[in-house]
Structures are given as structure tokens and as C-alpha cells.
Amino acid sequence: MSAGRGEETSASEARSRGERRDQNALSRALRLEADGGSRGNPGVAGYGAVVFDAVSGDTLAERAAPLGKASNNVAEYSGLIAGLEAAMEIDPSARIDVAMDSKLVIEQMAGRWKIKHEDMRRLALQAQDLVRRIRESGGEVTWTWIPRERNKAADKLSNDGMDGEVITSDYWRDSPAEAGSPAPEQLTLLMPDEDGERAVPEPPVVVPVRTPPTPRRIVLLRHGVTDLTVQGRLDGRGGIDPELNPEGRRQAFAAAQGVRDQILGDIPYVVTSSLARAEATGAAVAQALGVPARVDADWDEQSFGAWDGLSFSRIRDLAPDGLTSLRSDPDFCAPGGESHRDFVARVLAAYQRLLADLEEGQTVVVATHRKPIMAVLAHVLDLDMATGWRLGCGPASFTVVDVFTGAVTIERLNDQHHL
């Protein structure tokens, strides 16, 4: 007796499901990590994405690009789209696990949250179209939220994008065997010899693999606010030495979480100045990172002598040209205070001691003050005293300095995203 139409359909569907399971079992497994950021939200924006082989962990592709002025969410969606496109180039039938620290994007793409903003809706439709094409090719896409500290590779690329860099790196093309493509044939040249002509293989070109240099990293963290900070009064070494106020304590704990993502390699300890506000800020960081805190008084703020605790308007009443001299004359000092030249000498001595103690690949966080941070940056950027004042350094902000052999780079400046 022949099978009925319904039985034929059920059998066909079962075979189709079985074929898809078999195909998925043989498909390549990829992991896509994506991110995006905006300095200002909306502000200068960029995205980053990296595709890994889920089995070997090898990096297969990287993407980064600037977006002009855009929001964080638009940048995150742009990173997702760039990553999906890169993954499709590698293998459109792959099983792709998308991992992002944006819960909004993950939940919206998984269909659990609604998309209300028009710009995000447009980008989400573009991403959904890519997912549809992957599934039509026999692939699959899953969605995973990860904490920010586990998304460092994509986060770094998104910052490269915000800095104006365009990165399109396809490492998988350099390994055709891994990408499922046939290896290129050995080129053969005909080289004549005394007996006539014979085939001699062309020697392969050996490209040396260069290991990227590993820096020593110093994270310069300004303390949280005190009542004097809020009131706009000078607060130096040897003065009132106030504690953090409630807002300053909140900032210190937020900064502890913010600098966590900046740790390169291991961190042996945290350094603080000897002033109470910096010690408290550094203690919050040391506790969060599980390392000891060391006090080095050479990281103290400049001494302002008799001007300590005074407002800027009061100082102008006492010395009309005093603040101008304080900002531009390296040998000027307030009555009983410290000159800029002497101050810089002690801060740079502390900086050099720290570099001598650090090994390549280690990070140290220094909880200090505005002028010590300015002094280090002016030193590595070769800025004069007056120009150094143009560098921003908000309370509880951090600046990242990477020191290589013969070179220094400023990775982040006045970063306050954690606040």
C-alpha cells in the first residue's frame, strides 16, 4: 500500500531536518566579538569587530572604522554588521556565536526586546538580513551577552575606529588550508645548467613573523573630588589635605571598575601619593584588583604654600599676576611653596623609578593629582609648561601611557567613561 501525502511530507521534513543537523555538525564554528563606542554619545564614534576560530581560538579577521558623530548604540550595531560581513567572507555556512557586551543589541537581535529608535531599527534590519543569508547558506547565529572585561579585543578595535583608524585584516586568507581553500602550487622555474635545461624549484619566500613589542603600562588616575575641588580652591602638598567627599568616594569606586579594563598583563601593585584623597582613591583600585597599595610622596601635588586652600579670586586679590606666573614661569613659586621646576623634578624621578621597577607586559596604576599627570604627559610629549595646561584631566579620570623601548604612546587621555 502506498504512503499517503501527509506521510510523504512528514518523511521529507524529517530528512530535511536530519540533513541540516548533519550539515551543522560539519560546519565551521566561529566566534564574533563586536563593539562600538562614542565619545560624547552622540560624539566621535567608531566600531570594532574580531572573528575567531571557535575551536583553535585563532584570530581570523579584524575590522575597525570611524563613524563620524554617532551614538553608542549605532556604533555597536555597526560593529556587529561589519563582523557578520567578515564572518560570511570566511564561511557563509558557519555556526557563528555573536558575543557583545551590549545587552541592548543582544536582546534586540535575539527578538526579546523591541527596537524603537529609527537609526537602530535600520541597522538592525541590515544585521537581520545578514543573519537570514547565513541561515539560508546552512549556517546558524546565536547571541551571547558578555561583560565588558571579556570583550577587550573588540573594545580596543572600536577605540582604534574612534581614533580615525580603518582596519580590514583578513588573517584567514594567509592560511588557505585553514580556510578550506587549496594551498597554492609550488612555483617552478626552468634554470639552465651545463648539461642543458632542468627544472629547479624556486626557493620559498620566508616572511619573518614579528612579535609585537610589549609595553610597560602606567595608568595615571586623578583622585576623586573633595570639598575644595568643588569650591575651586587650590589644594596642594603641605596644605589642608582634605578627604574625599561622598561624590569623590563614589567616583573612586567607579574609577576602580574603569581602570580594570586597562590592565595589560599583570599588575603587581598600585601607587598612590601621600595625600589623603589620592590614598583613598588608590585604595579603592587596589581593593578591586586584589593588589597592595604603595605610597610614594613624590607623586604628591605641587605645594602652593600660603595660597593653599584659597580661591582663585582671592589669589588674584593678593597677587594680580600670581596665577599667570604659576602657569607660565617654571621658577615662580607661591610664598612658602614649590616652584614648577622643583615639582617636575621630583615627579619625573618617581616616574623613572616606576619604569625601572616595571617589567614588560606589566601595568601599574598611579593614583595622583592633576599637575603630576600633566608633568608626565608634558615630559613624554615634549610640551612646554604653558602648553601642558591645555591637557584635560578631570577628577577620577585616567590617562594610559604605554612605554616601549625607545618609544612612548598615549593610549587614553582624560578618560571619564566610567563616571
Edge-to-edge order in the sheet of strand 398-404: 293-295, 270-272, 363-368, 216-222, 398-404, 407-415
Q: Which three cell numbers stand for residue 140?
A: 546558524
Other Cβ atoms less than 10 A from the Cβ of 365: the count is 30
Q: Catalytic pick from 33, 62, 76, 223?
A: 223
Query: What span, in angstroms and rounded, lies between the C-alpha atoms of 347 and 341?
Result: 10
Amino acid at 2: S
Q: Which residues does 395 contact at the CB level (< 8 Å), separation at least 6?
A: 222, 223, 224, 225, 229, 248, 251
Q: Which of 22, 408, 13, 42 is nearest to 216 (CA)?
A: 408
Cell 616595571 sits on residue: 358
- For this structure, is 223 an active site residue? yes
For residue 209, the cross-strand partners are: none
Q: First CA to last CA across the chain, in angstroms? A: 75
Q: Which of 157, 128, 145 is nearest to 61 (CA)?
A: 157
Which of the 8 DSSP states describes residue 123? H
Residue 352, phi then psi, degrees to nearest 5: -65, -35
Query: What separation in angstroms does the CA of 78 have from each of 99, 154, 159, 163?
Result: 14, 12, 14, 16
Radius of gyration of the chain (CA): 29
Q: Which three cell numbers stand for residue 41?
A: 554619545
The residue length of the chain stands at 419
Q: Which of 322, 382, 375 is nearest to 346 (CA)?
A: 375
Q: Is 277 annotated as a binding residue?
A: yes
Q: Catalytic pick from 62, 76, 279, 301?
A: 301
Say if residues 358 and 405 touch (Cβ distance below 8 Å).
no
Say if residues 210 and 288 touch (Cβ distance below 8 Å).
no
Give the residue numbers annotated as catalytic, written as ranges.
Answer: 223, 301
Binding-site entries: 277
Q: Which residues are annotated as a binding site for substrate?
A: 277
